[in-house]
Structure 1
């Protein structure tokens, strides 16, 4: 048995923490300063983590490699298994042109560009985040806004800012699933706390979007639809995350937000021509005037309805129990690790949920989608292969980052850093979201930031007497606000609207909003760590 040491360097916790931080520093410097591709930076960071574990912490080489292999497997299944199948569903709608039908359907909801921004960037963007994540919502929402006549810069900024509240539950809950795994906390517990933080952002973001589109006039004239949309989105996300399914949180929130928006009479009123003239300064796409048959519109919405139906059915107790029987748990080979207190760590036993996992359920919904949309089996298989090819670098990144996280967690590196960070005491509650924000700003992924810093947050929380679930959730909730300033997302936004090379201009426009909303999240977490807002977690 390997027992994790906490002070392997000269029996000094600060010195040990400096050495333990080398893998993280390697990744962040390679990404932020050297501008290396994420999958390469992750692989080099993994190599550094393995060397520190073996040479400094004394973890046997075989156990170090075994821990890395377990992290890599978890990165493939269930994490990327969810992402691949979710993006596959979207690609089939593009192939059959039902995505274009959906886009035109949204364009006809209202001719008010302020309402269109809410429907497309906030509501539909959240739906895309639920299915695909990894930058797809920003690119697709921005392109759709440009097609409606939005100026490219404004479209990109709106898409970036809108991609905040849904990120923690994106790609069918991938970030919170990862957070639960690397921290050892129950998924329901982690999702519940995140579901009591990010909905508060959803109350604010629609109003921010209206301001970005049309300033004071927009807020004065459309604050009610924006508030209704935010309230419905927040309520649905809270209910799904706390009482139903974290994987469905964004889908439920997106549909509820859009429905509430359309129920407000002022949202359906024709827009003043002065508003349209001042906001729509781009070139409107001609294909928006094309009329689509009603049956085809229903088919365009069918994939999302099927996903909701499949996940809802999977939550029915008898079905849930049946699916759980396919889960296999076994002793992970060549791994026998105990923490500093001599307690065996959870990674010694590995659970493989073959059917009761989001990726498999999305696959089932995808097969049904292929039938509904009339996609031939050969074409559906080709699209699935194309999805894997499109995500190949993202797969390598997630696999390497999770392998790195497992090595750091199992060797004791994360525990050493966590105990050192705990010296911040009560101030840790304020700093916790900042760490997540920084992680996402650098890596471009809430999933990666949770893998890197999740265990560290939990260790620091336990050492400082704060709630482990609160700080773990704060890592993810703070992280969503770093998404809009990550180089990855800025590049995607610029490429989507034809502003290649203008990433710096976009950064200057979205950075104040990122920092302002981060401050709000920090204050929320501080409040939840005290009696002021502690009742929210009861």
Structure 2
């Protein structure tokens, strides 16, 4: 049985942390500086993590490889299982033409790309995050933005940056429920605390989106709409997470932000329109006075109501299926085939002497989010009258489209599991936890790091949730605040994680250009992270301690 060691290099936690960080440094350098393809960079970083596990941490080669294999399989199920089935549903809507109907429905709300970025990437993306998560919003909204006239790189960047504020409550609040499980704290209390952090982030995200789309001019002309959407989302997220239901937080917030924004657009429009069919804004009186020909044509010849209903049917089906799956009798039936599998040959003891839970692998065949999306896909095929053969061809096309993203995600999760099993992640976390009271500032960084590696706020909470609580006890900080800060900081690492970069690149046809996307989003990720660190620090002292439940 392998026993983890926190400080294998010279019995120094600082030097050991530097060595433990080498796989991450390798990954980000290969992506951001050398512009290497994500799947190649991920495999090389995985190799580095294996070498360090064996050389520095003295982990047996067989167990290091087994840890990587478990991570790779976890990368496919449940994570890629969600993405594949979500993209399959999207592919069927494209082939039947209903995606174009949905696009035109969004365009009728506003023909301004800056407003479209808010509605599609931020609000609609939050709804997708609430239902599925794990890269689904990035994949679908980035393609929708391209259909609205966005360039591929800008569409990918907007989709990634928008996928921040909703992440902690994504997939029916799975990250927070997981955090409660590993910390033995109430999920409702943790959800309330996260609901006092991410809503503040939500206020600023739409403003950043319009800046990405159109720079300072975009902010000056559309700040009213951006601020309205952000505040509406934040208020709904705050109230729902604290007083209604943690799992339903993002569903309520996303729908409320759309309703409020659409209501605003009925009485207010930006003075100029940034349209997808032109490289410069349409000036002279605004969109209401001189609409683009395409927009005028859609107004004159709108889609039939039945076609609009069918275009929205897949998402309505997803909502109904996921809501039904939460009802106790149905949930119990779906849970029956679930199995907990002990990964063969992988026996690990933590540095404290306690047995690690890493070898256990949960196989929830029916109630996994990907399986529910598969059921939703079958129902969507029936609703859209897609034949069995056509549906199967669409599924194969989805697999081909995502082939390199699949390799990337499996390699990155293999990397995460090797680092976790060998003790590399715990070394990094323990080193940061030695900061005393200043750990309140560093706590979100640990969450960011976990999500940047795994691509999942859920996985980040699994890795570092218990460590956050332990560090809080040593530094006399509130454990609920530190655990929640892990999740809130984690949402900001998602846009730079290789798996989400790979999904975005595959969706917009930029395979091999993940490094270009990374350089565009890393700045925003770090800016938001700095803000979350300051917020966490202020909430740990008298300034904002009233926000801690």
Q: TM-score range by the shorter chain?
A: 0.7 to 0.9
- Where do 1:65-464 residues align within 5 Å? 65-110=65-110, 115-127=115-127, 133=136, 135-136=138-139, 139-146=142-149, 162-167=162-167, 172=171, 176=175, 188=187, 194-209=194-209, 223=224, 226-238=226-238, 244=245, 246=247, 250-264=250-264, 267-269=265-267, 271=269, 279-280=281-282, 285=294, 288=298, 290-434=301-445, 447=455, 455=463, 459=467, 462-463=470-471
2:4 aligned residue: 4
Indicate the residue corresponding to 1:29 in structure 2.
29
Q: 1:70 offset after TM fit, Å?
A: 1.6
Residues 31, 447 of structure 1: alpha-carbon distance in 2 compared, 3 angstrom cutoff: same
Relative to structure 1, is the Cα distance of residues 295 and 280 closer, same or farther in structure 2, using a 3 angstrom cutoff? same
Query: Quick one: distance in 2 between partners of 1:339 and 1:137?
Result: 40
Distance 1:421 1:237 in 2: 30
Cα displacement (A) at 1:380: 1.2
Distance 2:161 2:16 in 1: 39
Q: 1:251 touches 1:308 (CA, 8 Å); kept in 2? A: no
> What residue number does 2:288 align with?
none
Q: 1:80, 1:395 within 8 Å by CA — same for their partners in 2?
A: yes
CA shift, 1:192, in A, is 6.2
2:55 and 2:158 mapped to 1: Cα distance?
Answer: 48
Q: Is the 8 A contact 2:413 2:454 kept in 1?
A: no
Unaligned 5+ runs, structure 1: none
Distance 1:274 1:16 in 2: 55
Whether 1:53 and 2:64 are equivalent positions in the alignment is no
Q: What SS does the aligned partner of 1:146 have?
A: coil
1:476 maps to which of 485, 490, 494: 490
Q: In structure 2, do the counterparts of structure 1 residues 37 and 188 end up closer, same or farther at CA, with 3 Å as the change threshold?
A: farther
State how far apart, in whole Å, the 1-side matches of 2:155 and 2:405 are. Answer: 25
Greater per-residue helix proportion? 1
The Cα shift of 1:310 comes to 0.8
How many residue pairs were aligned? 521
CA–CA separation in structure 1 for the residues paired with 2:343 and 2:505: 40
Are the aligned partners of 1:197 and 1:477 in contact in 2 as well (CA < 8 Å)?
no
Change (3 A) 1:406 1:175: farther
How much has 1:175 moved relative to structure 2? 9.1
Asked whether 1:525 is paired with 2:536, we answer yes
CA distance 1:188–1:502, shift in 2 (3 Å): closer
Pair 1:175–1:52, CA change in 2 (3 A): farther
Range that drifts further, 331-340 or 161-170: 161-170
Displacement, 1:314? 1.1
Matches of 2:455 and 2:184 in 1, distance apart?
16
Q: Is 50-59 or 384-393 further displaced after alignment?
A: 50-59
Aligned partner of residue 91 in structure 1, secondary structure: helix
Query: Over aligned residue pairs, what C-alpha RMSD do you find?
Result: 4.3
> How far has the Cα of 1:22 moved from its partner?
2.5
Q: 1:122 to 1:341 in 2, by over 3 A?
A: closer
Report deviation, 1:198: 2.4
CA contact (8 A) 2:496 2:522 kept: no
The offset of 1:32, in angstroms, is 2.4
Kindly state the Cα deviation for residue 292 of structure 1 after the two structures are TM-superposed: 1.1
C-alpha distance in 2 between matches for 1:44 and 1:157: 25
Secondary structure of 1:355's counterpart equals coil
**TM-score, normalization by structure 2:** 0.79
CA contact (8 A) 1:233 1:257 kept: yes
- Residues 336-359 of structure 1: per-residue CA shift (max 9 Å, x gap): 211112111112333221112111
In 1, Cα distance between equivalents of 2:185 and 2:90: 30
Deviation at 1:404, TM superposition (A): 1.5
1:451-497 per-position Cα deviation (integer Å, ceiling 9, x unaligned): 5897367536634545452342143133257589x98799789979x
Cα deviation, 1:292-334, whole Å, max 9, x if unaligned, reads 1111100111111111111111111222222222211133211
1:75, distance to aligned residue in structure 2 (A): 0.9
Secondary structure of the corresponding residue to residue 149 of structure 2: helix
User: In the aligned structure 2, how far is the partner of 1:268 from the partner of 1:50?
Assistant: 57
Contact 1:182 1:455 in 2 (8 A): no
- Conserved 8 A contact 1:206-1:227: yes
Structure 1 residues 502 and 142: CA distance shift in structure 2, 3 A: farther
Name the TM-score, length of structure 1 as normaliser. Answer: 0.80
Distance verdict in 2 for CA 1:275–1:11, change over 3 Å? closer
The change in CA–CA distance for 1:378 and 1:165 in structure 2 (over 3 A counts) is same
Q: Deviations over 1:371-406 (max 9, x none)?
A: 111111111111112212211212211111111111
